[in-house]
Amino acid sequence: MVAEKGWTMEALDSMWVLDSFFRETRRTRPHTDSIYFPHHFLPIPSTQTDGCRREAILNRLVLKPTTLSDGTHLTPGTQVSVAYGARESDPRYYPSPATFDPLRFYKLRTDRSSNRFSVTDIDSNEYLGFGGGRNTCPGRFFAVAIIKTAVVQLLLEYDMTPGCDPMELTSKFEDQCLPSFKDRVKFRKL
């Protein structure tokens, strides 16, 4: 792609397989693992066996009395979140949800020839990786372009192998599980 179109947004936008890989990675390992509100931290009870929480995103604090479309009343001070982890592992939405399929969204996107399954998609309630509604991340296109550029550059210039297999998720930052710092990716210049 880069050889044909150079380092252009057109080339980056054409990288549907990479989009699919990023989106599947976010589906299986969401980066938001707990609820944070100014002045206090409220952890979500973990349902994961590895002790890492991958449950809630789009965390909000109700500031004024609100009634939802289903009639639910929310009082000021109520903390509201979206149960993202539960949805992303629900077989009603994703066949074989426990399986990491790097081409899952590529296949959906090519079957329906739509941008709906791109990594920056916000036109549906199916993917909330960059938020939703009025609070969607305005920098999502820039962030994805930078990440794609870095990943493609690494793939073009290096042969990479994991330090161990499977990768251990033993390091923690707050409630997020991260790859162990003792594991190293091995780089060999091509």
What's residue 47's pLDDT?
43
Write down the residue that tokens 């939405």 correspond to: 93
The dihedral sign for the CA sequence 137, 140, 162, 188: negative
What's residue 187's pLDDT?
87
What's residue 33's pLDDT?
42
For residues 41-69, one letter each, b for 16 or more C-beta atoms within 10 angstroms of the residue's C-beta and e for the rest, the string is: eeebebeeeeebbbbbbebeeeeeeeeee
**What are the residue ranges spanned by the domains of the chain?**
2-189
Give, for all 190 residues of the chain, the pLDDT tens digit.
778 888 888 898 889 899 899 888 888 876 554 444 333 334 444 444 444 444 566 677 899 999 999 999 999 998 887 777 777 788 888 889 889 999 998 888 887 655 566 666 655 666 667 776 777 788 888 988 999 999 999 999 999 887 666 666 666 665 556 666 666 778 899 9
Q: Cα–Cα distance between 47 and 86 in angstroms, integer? A: 10
What's residue 170's pLDDT?
65
What's residue 40's pLDDT?
39
What's residue 112's pLDDT?
67
What's residue 167's pLDDT?
62
Phi/psi at 187 (5° precision): -110, 135
* CATH superfamily label, 2-189: Cytochrome P450 (1.10.630.10)
What's residue 134's pLDDT?
73
